[in-house]
A and B are shown apart, each in its own frame.
Chain A
Amino acid sequence: MTTFTLDPATKVIVQGATGRMGRRHTELMLGYGTRIVGGIAGSGRREGSPTPLFDSCAEAVAATGAETSITLVPPMDVLAAVTEALEGGIRLIVSPSEGMPVHDAVVAYGRVQAYGATWVGPSTPGLAIPGKMKLGFIPDISLAPGPLGIMSKSGTLSYEACFRLASAGMGQSTWVGVGGDPVKGVRFAELLPYFQADPATRAVVVLGEIGGGEEEELAEEMARLSFGKPVFVLLAGSSAPEGVTMGHAGALIQGGRGTIQSKTTALRDVGAQVFTSIEGLVRGVMEGDVRS
């Protein structure tokens, strides 16, 4: 079981800082206030880097004291990047890359566990404490400080839902994208103790979808922790045919498992409100008992 925690002042290094994506997102994250203290150079251009460059994670950690990294590398290179970060002393790793081989993710998770570190992703839009820092691709127009703890399997669905909630005056305390892959570093249930303890979080919004058992596991964890804050869940994919993957590798129903019905029942049984449209979610949260 992973313990998730997030310090808004955490020092961050960017793995793959000299790539096209790496450079652009380093600039965007710096612009948002993220404390990026260095980057690991890849094969791209070094001149004009927005952050000091190093040749390895170990070197960057020694020079900067960074504890967090974001791996902006191609999907086939994520396992190596995670391994290098762990060996270099990084404690929190965020991996946005889509298309990491599943066996690589299983191996990476085993290594993360062995080091007692935390890994968010792969295939995550990232995470954020709005107004303070963001790690990843979450667009600024969706970010606003507020009372909602966000956990999401989908980037775009969370951008849309949080943009509309923020426009209605309901921003976010902490936002974590767990990613749309089946095997991932942090699962919904593992975020619950953080949101339970976080005083800025008054309610939790979950952007879930068909496939896998994460929503059911979340319901079990809510019961186990006697989770006391309101939980609002939006589930996508109620119409997806069995055996067909809709973009997210994890969003796959096989043998009647991972259905909307199973998730809805499990979550409602523990007091969560479950919605199947964005409009319904927004109305539910706005009318819900969320003290901001």
Chain B
Amino acid sequence: MLLLEHDAKEIARDKGVRIPQGVFVARDTVGDLDLLGRGPWVVKAQVGVGGRGKAGGVGFADTPDAVAAFIRANADATIKGHRIAGFRVEEKVSFRHEVYLSFMVDAASRGIRLLLSAQGGVDVEANAHQADAMLTAVAPPGLGALVAAGENLIPALPEALRAPVRSAVAALAQMFLALDATLLEVNPLFVLADGSWVAGDMKLGVDESAFARQPALEAAVRARPDAYPEANFKLDHDFDYVRINPHGQIGLLTTGAGLSMMLIDEMLQAGRQPFNFCDVRTGLLRGSPQRLIDVLRQFTQGDEISVVFVNIFAGITDLGEFADLLLQALDAVPELEVPVVARLIGNNFEGAKARLARSGRPITLEMELDKALRLAVAQVGAAA
């Protein structure tokens, strides 16, 4: 997952990386802004996807009033479907050069890829098509190896950039490794007139699987439940849940990431809107309905949900026991008054069938996935 630029930069500063001073301004801030410096300022929408600048999420302002005006105008904007979490306001930096420098986990080579270009800035992707514009190397995940990889690239840079880039490679490689980062992209990396450098913009991809040994990252994510809803859900409940469409019609109570993704695709192909993705992992229920309750509670926030679709492929789980937990969970969330289509298959289907029938609840049980999907789709009524 990507951290907001503001969070990434504050973490970077704690790691000794030089960044422009800035403040976070909430979307709904009223009254005077508490800005740093005397301006002019850069106002940057905070959102967890790239391409923000070209989507109109970055503005320049000479006065605090102009800063406030930009924030008001963009507070309710979305960028690539993501709502803006707030704004970072920084004093504009006077620079000589814009460099591109990034480190990322490279899945294909299973190493760390370093990318470097003397022509950074928002057009770096366009410039990358020019021959030799982007320098790249792959190294094992160690500081010495990454610095050495950088040393091999630096001679291709203009003389004036070599010393600052050498310093930046060492500092940012150290930060990348220390944080278990999946991506650390600094673009632009400003080189100033005195030869020093500042991280102008920053994308930091973090690994949720490493949070157990990265308490500062976990704390940053927990501090913004609205900006990082999925990561916070996972931290709180220990399984994956993603709200896909607040106006979705079908609530998914399903297990397995790949299969749940597939079901969402198939529902959309049938013209119906799924409310969510989830992977409750039946193997980890351990006799408690809690995870099922957690998901059903989410569905009470969907005003257009007209059916709950359950899909459990039980290789090991006993379906009779699962049926009991499902009934307990439905009892625990009485305000959710929608029918349930349950597709269950595997161990002890008959036990589940008997229990669900005895409950007298409006639960349709089906063993075949395609039939169950059609039943759920039919419950929604005509395609939207």
A residues engaging B (CB < 8 A)?
24, 28, 75-76, 99-103, 105-107, 109-110, 137-142, 152-160, 163-164, 180, 182-184, 187, 207, 209, 212-214, 217, 234, 236-251, 254-255, 276-279
Contact = CB atoms under 8 A, between A and B. Distances in A.
Contacts of B105: 102-103, 106, 182-183
Interface in B232-280: 240, 242, 244, 255-262, 264-266, 268-269, 277, 279
A182 B107 contact: yes
B209 A242 contact: no
Contact of B207 (A101, A163, A240, A276): A101
A139 B315 contact: yes
Given A75-B209, A106-B105, A246-B261, A160 B140 contact: no
Contacts of A141: 315, 346
A241 B141 contact: no
Contact of B49 (A209, A242, A247, A277): A242
A103 B180 contact: yes
B154 interface: no
Contact of B258 (A180, A249, A255): A180
A276 B265 contact: yes
Q: Considering the complex of A and B, which 7 residue pairs feature the smallest CB-CB distances, nearest first?
A: A154-B258, A156-B256, A139-B315, A247-B257, A157-B258, A156-B259, A101-B210
Interface of B: 1-2, 48-51, 80-82, 105, 107-108, 110-112, 140-141, 177, 180, 182, 207-210, 212-213, 230, 240, 242, 244, 255-262, 264-266, 268-269, 277, 279, 313-316, 345-346, 369-370
B107 A213 contact: yes
Given A99-B209, A242-B49, A248 B180 contact: no
B269 A277 contact: yes
A207 B258 contact: yes
B261 A209 contact: yes
Contacts of B369: 160, 164, 278
A271 to B, nearest CB: 23
A104 B66 CA distance: 47
B108 A251 contact: no
B313 A238 contact: no
Nearest to B207: A102
A241 B315 contact: no
A275 to B, nearest CB: 10
Given A106-B105, A213-B108, A277-B265, A243 B80 contact: yes
A250 B209 contact: no
A239 B80 contact: no
Contact of B277 (A160, A183, A246, A277): A246
B180 A101 contact: yes
Nearest to B80: A242
Contacts of B313: 139, 156, 159-160, 163
A107 B112 CA distance: 10
Given A139-B314, A243-B2, 7 more contacts: A101-B180, A103-B180, A180-B258, A238-B268, A244-B230, A247-B277, A278-B266
Contacts of B264: 239-240
Contact of A102 (B180, B213, B256): B180
Among A99, A139, A142, A239, the most chain B Cβ lie within 10 Å of the Cβ of A239
A286 B275 CA distance: 33
B171 to A, nearest CB: 18
A105 B80 CA distance: 31
Contacts of A279: 370
A248 B257 contact: yes
Nearest to B268: A239
B255 A156 contact: yes
B269 A255 contact: no
Contacts of A207: 258
A238 B274 CA distance: 13
Nearest to B243: A244
A138 B209 CA distance: 23
Contacts of B177: 103
B277 A255 contact: no
Given A141-B346, A159-B315, A255-B50, A241 B244 contact: yes
Nearest to B47: A243
Nearest to B179: A103
B262 A278 contact: yes
A132 to B, nearest CB: 18
B316 A102 contact: no
